[in-house]
Amino acid sequence: MTFEILAQAVINGLLMGFVFALVAVGLSLILGVAQIINFAHGEFLMLGMYTAFWMWALFGLDPLVSLPISIGVLALLGVCVYKLITKRILDAPRLTQIFATFGLSIFLRSLAQFLWTPNSRMIQNSWVGDLRVALGGVYIGAPQLVAAAGAILAFGVIHWLVEKTEVGRAMMATAEDRDAAALMGINTEQMYTLAWAVGSACVGLAGGLLTTFYSVEPNIGLVFGTTASVVIALGGFGSIKGAFAAGIIVGLIQVVGGFLIGPAFKFAVVLTVYLVVVAVRPQGLLGKY
Amino acid sequence: MALLEVTNLTKRFGGLVANDDVTMSVNEGEIVGLIGPNGAGKTTLFNSIAGVYNPEQGKILFRGEDITRYNPEQACQAGIARTFQIVRVFKGMTVLDNVMVGSYLRSQSDADARERALEVLKFTGLYPKKDYLASALTIADKKRLEMARALATRPTLLMLDEAMAGLNPTECQAAVDCIRAISREGITILMVEHVMEVIMPISDRIVVLNSGKKIAEGEPKAVSADPEVIKAYLGGKYVARS
Amino acid sequence: MLPVAAAVIALAYPKVFSLPYPQHVGVLICMNALMAVAWNITGGYTGQVALGNTVFFGIGAYTSSLLLRDFGVNPWIGMLAGTILSMIAAVVLGYTTFRLRGYYFTIACIAMAEIVSAIVVNTRRLGGAVGVTIPIRDASLLNFQFHGTNKAPYYYTILTFLAVALFVVYRVERSKLGYYFRAIREDEDGARALGVNPARYKLIAFMLSALFTSVAGTFYAQYVMFIDPASVLAQPVSVSMCLMAVLGGLGTLWGPVLGAMALIGISEATRVTLGGTGQAVDLMIYGLLVIVFAVFQPTGLMGMLGKLKARKE
Ligand SMILES: Nc1ncnc2c1ncn2[C@@H]1O[C@H](COP(=O)(O)OP(=O)(O)OP(=O)(O)O)[C@@H](O)[C@H]1O
Ligand SMILES: [Mg+2]
């Protein structure tokens, strides 16, 4: 009995972990290439979720169908934010950058509240909404399963893009040393734009997938954003693989820790683990630093 | 007993041996030049002495005190001041404020610190620029500011890492004069330099590193005539020009 | 000359504006300025972007409130206890995080603050998510409570705290501490080479910051008479302390005060003119303003004043 509950917790944690991982990979990509932590990343996710919600509410599109739209909208948002804001402060002190993205997060959060009220909203009867798979005494929700699969797929694509393609190599060269990359003839401006587009598209996808089983409200980004920054720090800044692995770990710790200590403490457990890790390894799990 | 004694020092970075069993010493009042080709391990040796790195093996004695495991601030407090190969001035602070940070180390009061800082600025010729932001200085002045800042801590040993790299001949000459003046004040100097014309005449002794190992040590003349040194580093270049 | 004028205006303010609302705004500005001045010690002078100052604000607010509610301890003594606890917390926070640099440090601070918040939310003894109502005592300075519509006593109390904090920062700026703080901000390794022990001085900066933030926490509790995790321990509270300091001008004496005046002024003005809080228009403008400043005026209001002055000359 307890074993089954624990197994259930592990499965849930794992599946949620993949979603965290996807969100974190997007943040990590932007940090790695464009050298800035987007503290509005959680709010980007919130907008991704709202995009999926409104596609459903206004046009009856299932979130799985509107995924390309969520991805596109967010990629566009990422490019706009880069061109309008962060591009101008690339060489500014870190605090200025933090300041700007905090301002952005406050703006987006209150904009959502202004436009769509603070109420939380949920998509009813999406295709995968009520389905679940039984495995012995353990149930796996179809929405979570689909979300995890989508996250894994997306990570595969990004990993392939970064490791195997010409563009990816150019992007990593830019991440390594912007000036050297520019000397090698890489269009670093394009690489920054691309990183913002792909990094933001990740949360477009994650947002779309989340809406099948998660309600959306203007403040949803706070927890997800904080979690994502903890995840990339845990994985080690600049490591996309580290971010993905750490995302899964965080998902597991959250649910299992919540199960063992109490659900109210699940977030605190994650943060404590993070603090213990960086106390021992200040550069995170896979970071070079 | 020498002021600084480095014995059998080894420092590795992963598989790379940056300093390999280096033994050398610096006597009180001397100017010692540390030379060697790029990547020879000169900066690494500086960093081990200044407490930035913990060497894997070996011992560093300063005034008879074992400072091998010291951290940078302890090394400085013990009387070792250094400049950096890539300048690290406090860009957002004025020249005077940069030097104040150094002079607070051994000052009893704010007034004391200020007096000491102004004194050092006059000594190094930076006084007219004391209210400039450090970021507004030329590279030559930045290097000089690092020197001034280090001097303000009232060191026994001053370590200069390529204090003349990137300077034009006039600036170079000014720096040489400054270093000679520092030496006359009784401060011992250990300096890394690439410009041979500069380091040979100014040094009392030369230590040569190559691929992490010490390959020669002695008076400038003897060292520049050493076949191994010529082979490793100087090539025909220095010999031909001198 | 300027500080004298500022002092005169600050002292006369509640006499000139005797209605409760402007006095309330005055209290808000001073309280937020105090928090921003405190944040500026670590974030501005020492360059450590600590986004967890709610820990100290919370300790200040909760310590005095719980001591008063459960043991009848005078809030002034509670405030003292809070500052001591906060400074201890600063040491703990400092020791666990001072090895971390840059974003790692910032995120560790956020994590600490969230952990503290989670603990309070889930501990009934501490009021849980519901919060703590501060028991009413007779109105007097000794009881740190002033009832009625005249907010002037609260105003003068917080103004005094702010003045003390500004004086301390003014002295620190011109002493060894101030020089070492700025050296650490500019280049930690460079500072170490000059004999500065960064861990030690970061810790001192934290403790100073914790002290003033904690005092602001106790004041907040005594002023609002109610505290809960959402108003005292939430991440946006930490962020706003930082934003005011940055907006005003980092690492400057008066910057945080200007920042608090500007942000509180704007948010109150939009609230009053655009109505109801649920609409969040005030926050939208605030967010936009922060972005605009980060992009176009990163040195804050102080930098802007400096430029104006230079142009005149
Ligand atoms: N922090 C480090 N991590 C890894 N390798 C390092 C590090 N610092 C130096 N090295 C390596 O150790 C070797 C010695 O470097 P060092 O900087 O001491 O040489 P140097 O003699 O000062 O050269 P240069 O004349 O170019 O300044 C080089 O191969 C360098 O790449
Ligand atoms: Mg070197």
| B103-159 confidence digits (pLDDT tens) | 999 998 999 999 999 999 999 999 999 999 999 999 999 999 999 999 999 999 999
- The DSSP annotation for B121-190 comes to HHHHT-GGGTTSBGGGS-HHHHHHHHHHHHHHT--SEEEEESTTTT--HHHHHHHHHHHHHHHHTT-EEE
Residue with tokens 């403040």: A219
Answer whether residue C202 is part of any domain: yes
Q: Residue A245 has what pLDDT?
A: 93
Least confident of A31-40, A260-269, B75-84: A260-269
pLDDT band at C275 (very low <50, low <70, confident <90, very high): low
Quick check: A85 pLDDT over 50? Answer: yes
Select from 3.40.50.300, 1.10.760.10, 1.10.260.40, 3.60.20.30 the CATH code of B4-87+155-238.
3.40.50.300
As given in the structure block, the two tokens for residue B232 are 């490793």
Q: Find the Cα–Cα–Cα–Cα dihedral A95, A98, A103, A107, rounded to 10°.
A: 180
Q: How far is the CA of B84 from the centre of ligand 2 (A)?
A: 9
Least confident of B218-232, C111-125, C199-213, C214-228: B218-232
Residue with tokens 């948010």: C267
Check: CB of residue A258 under 8 Å from CB of residue A138: no
Encoded amino acid at C258, one letter: L
Return the sign of the alpha-carbon dihedral for residues A35, C301, C47, B131. Answer: positive
Q: Supply the range of the domain harboring residue C135.
A: 2-234
**Taking the CA of residue A212 as centre, how many other CA atoms within 13 Å lie in the half-sphere pointing to its CB?**
29
Quick check: C292 pLDDT over 50? Answer: yes
Contact C187 B90 (CB under 8 A): yes
Return the sign of the alpha-carbon dihedral for residues A186, A187, A192, A194. Answer: negative
Mutational test site, ligand 1, from B42, B86, B160, B192, max ligand atoms within 8 Å of CB: B42
Ligand 1 site residues (CB inside 6 A) read B 13, 16, 18, 36, 38-44, 85
Answer whether residue A242 is part of any domain: yes
Q: How far is the CA of B36 from the centre of ligand 1 (A)?
A: 12
Contact B101 C196 (CB under 8 A): yes
- In three-state secondary structure terms, B11 is strand
Question: Is A233 part of the contact surface with chain C (CB cutoff 8 Å)?
Answer: yes
Q: Tell me, what CATH number does A268's domain have?
A: 1.10.3470
Q: Which residues of A touch C182 (CB under 8 A)?
A: none
Number of domains chain A contains: 1
Quick check: C278 pLDDT over 70? Answer: no
- In three-state secondary structure terms, B10 is strand
Q: Residue B143 has what pLDDT?
A: 94
Question: Is C307 part of the contact surface with chain B (CB cutoff 8 Å)?
Answer: no
Question: Is C313 part of the contact surface with chain B (CB cutoff 8 Å)?
Answer: no
Tell me which chains share at least 3 CB pairs under 8 Å with chain B: C
Q: Residue B241 has what pLDDT?
A: 41
Q: Residue A1 has what pLDDT?
A: 54
- In three-state secondary structure terms, A107 is helix
Question: Is C95 part of the contact surface with chain A (CB cutoff 8 Å)?
Answer: no
pLDDT band at B240 (very low <50, low <70, confident <90, very high): very low
Answer whether residue A7 is part of any domain: yes
Q: Could you give the CA distance from residue C65 to residue A152 in angstroms, rounded to a whole number?
A: 49
Quick check: A283 pLDDT over 60? Answer: yes
β-strand pairing of B157-161 with B80-82: parallel
As given in the structure block, the two tokens for residue A138 are 């353990």
Least confident of A225-229, A259-263, A285-289, C261-265: A285-289
Question: Which run of H or E residues covers position A266?
Answer: helix A266-280
Question: Is C160 part of the contact surface with chain A (CB cutoff 8 Å)?
Answer: no
Average pLDDT over residues B74-88: 95
Q: Residue C304 has what pLDDT?
A: 86
**Taking the CA of residue B109 as centre, how many other CA atoms within 13 Å lie in the half-sphere pointing to its CB?**
3
Strands of the sheet containing B205-210, edge to edge, are B80-82, B157-161, B188-192, B31-35, B205-210, B213-218
Question: Which run of H or E residues covers position A31?
Answer: helix A2-34
As given in the structure block, the two tokens for residue C271 are 């609230």
Mean pLDDT of chain C, nearest integer = 91
Average pLDDT over residues C41-60: 94
A129 or C68: whose pLDDT is higher? C68
- In three-state secondary structure terms, A158 is helix
Predicted TM-score (pTM) of this structure: 0.90
Mean pLDDT of chain B, nearest integer = 91
Q: Find the Cα–Cα–Cα–Cα dihedral C240, A217, A243, A31, rounded to 10°.
A: -50
Quick check: A110 pLDDT over 50? Answer: yes
Give whole-number Cα distances, C254 to B188, C37, C162, in Å.
45, 8, 11
Number of domains chain C contains: 1
Taking each helix axis from N to C terminus, what angle separates A2-34 and A240-261, rounded to the nearest 10 degrees? Answer: 150
Q: Residue A95 has what pLDDT?
A: 82
Contact A272 C115 (CB under 8 A): yes
Average pLDDT over residues C264-271: 84
Cβ neighbours around B35 below 10 Å, total: 28
Q: Which residues of C touch B107 (CB under 8 A)?
A: 176
- Which among C174, C175, C179 is the nearest to B101, CB-wise? C179
Average pLDDT over residues C80-102: 91
| B193-207 confidence digits (pLDDT tens) | 877 778 889 999 999
Q: Could you give the CA distance from residue B101 to residue C179 in angstroms, rounded to a whole number?
A: 6
pLDDT band at B235 (very low <50, low <70, confident <90, very high): low
Question: Which run of H or E residues covers position B218?
Answer: strand B213-218
Cβ neighbours around A44 below 10 Å, total: 33
Burial of B114 (0-12, 13-18, 19+ CB in 10 A): middle
Quick check: B233 pLDDT over 80? Answer: no
Average pLDDT over residues C74-96: 95
Answer whether residue C225 is part of any domain: yes
Q: Residue A264 has what pLDDT?
A: 83
Is this complex's ipTM strictly greater than 0.90? yes
Average pLDDT over residues A185-189: 89
Quick check: B101 pLDDT over 90? Answer: yes
> Residue C145: which of C226, C265, C51 has the closest Cα?
C226
> Residue A38: which of C248, C291, C234 has the closest Cα?
C291
CA angle (A277, C86, A262) in 5-degree steps: 50
In three-state form (DSSP H/G/I as H, E/B as E, the rest C), the secondary structure along chain C is CHHHHHHHHHHHHHHHCCCHHHHHHHHHHHHHHHHHHHHHHHHHHCCCCCCCCHHHHHHHHHHHHHHHHHHCCCHHHHHHHHHHHHHHHHHHHHHHHCCCCHHHHHHHHHHHHHHHHHHHHCCHHHCCCCCEECCCCCCECCCCECCCCCCHHHHHHHHHHHHHHHHHHHHHHCCHHHHHHHHHHHCHHHHHCCCCCHHHHHHHHHHHHHHHHHHHHHHHHHHHCEECHHHHCCHHHHHHHHHHHHHHCCCCCCHHHHHHHHHHHHHHHHHHHHCCHHHCHHHHHHHHHHHHHHHHCCCHHHHHHHHHHHHHC
Q: Residue B239 has what pLDDT?
A: 45
**Taking the CA of residue C39 as centre, how many other CA atoms within 13 Å lie in the half-sphere pointing to its CB?**
35
CB < 8 Å from C in window 1-40 of A: 31, 37
| C188-228 confidence digits (pLDDT tens) | 999 999 999 999 999 999 999 999 999 999 999 999 999 99
Average pLDDT over residues C72-88: 97
Quick check: C53 pLDDT over 90? Answer: yes
Answer whether residue C241 is part of any domain: no
Q: Which residues of C touch B112 (CB under 8 A)?
A: none
Question: Is C7 part of the contact surface with chain A (CB cutoff 8 Å)?
Answer: no
Q: Residue B242 has what pLDDT?
A: 37
| C150-181 confidence digits (pLDDT tens) | 889 999 999 999 999 999 999 999 999 999 99
Encoded amino acid at C103, one letter: Y
Check: CB of residue B189 under 8 Å from CB of residue B27: no
> Residue A53: which of A45, A43, A63 has the closest Cα?
A63
Q: Could you give the CA distance from residue A43 to residue B167 in angstroms, rounded to a whole number?
A: 50
Cβ neighbours around B201 below 10 Å, total: 11
| Percent residues over pLDDT 90 in chain C | 63
| A3-53 confidence digits (pLDDT tens) | 888 888 888 899 999 999 999 999 999 998 988 899 999 999 999 999 999
CB < 8 Å from C in window 34-93 of A: 37, 85, 88-89, 92-93
Q: Supply the range of the domain harboring residue A12.
A: 2-280
Answer whether residue A289 is part of any domain: no
Answer whether residue C54 is part of any domain: yes
* A99 phi, psi to nearest 5 deg: -55, -50
